[in-house]
Amino acid sequence: MHVLPVLTEFLNTHPGVIGRALFVDRLTNIVDEGIDVAVRIGHLADSALSAVRVGTVRRVVLGSPAYLARATSPRAPADLTGHRIIATTNAWARLSSRNSRA
């Protein structure tokens, strides 16, 4: 939604450039994978890489109306303890694995 339109416009402006997009939900080593430019969501760990903030991301928690009618609606990440989570990403790794469902 955000990256692909910019990449497409860049490639249209520079037809001699070959572009490939890799969209993954994991930390990658951009040097080992031959990536020249990366857009990452999250903090940049201490490294030889440099970063420029281009935006912010807001986390959301979604639940079906039926589930939320039975359970208390979470207002903060800590409120998720005890909820049945059916999908999660590394961003929520702090939560106990007993609450995660693949």
Residue-level pLDDT, tens digit, the chain, 102 residues: 778 888 899 999 999 998 888 888 777 888 888 888 888 777 777 677 778 888 777 777 788 889 888 888 888 888 888 888 766 555 444 443 434 443
State the amino acid at position 31 in one-letter form: V
Q: Are residues 1 and 49 in the same domain?
A: yes
Q: Are residues 49 and 93 in the same domain?
A: no
* Apex 21 CA angle, 59 and 18, nearest 5: 150
CA 28/CA 24 separation, integer angstroms: 8
Q: Are residues 71 and 53 in the same domain?
A: no
Q: Are residues 3 and 51 in the same domain?
A: yes
Range of the domain at 19: 1-57
Give me the number of domains the chain comprises. 2
Q: Are residues 4 and 41 in the same domain?
A: yes
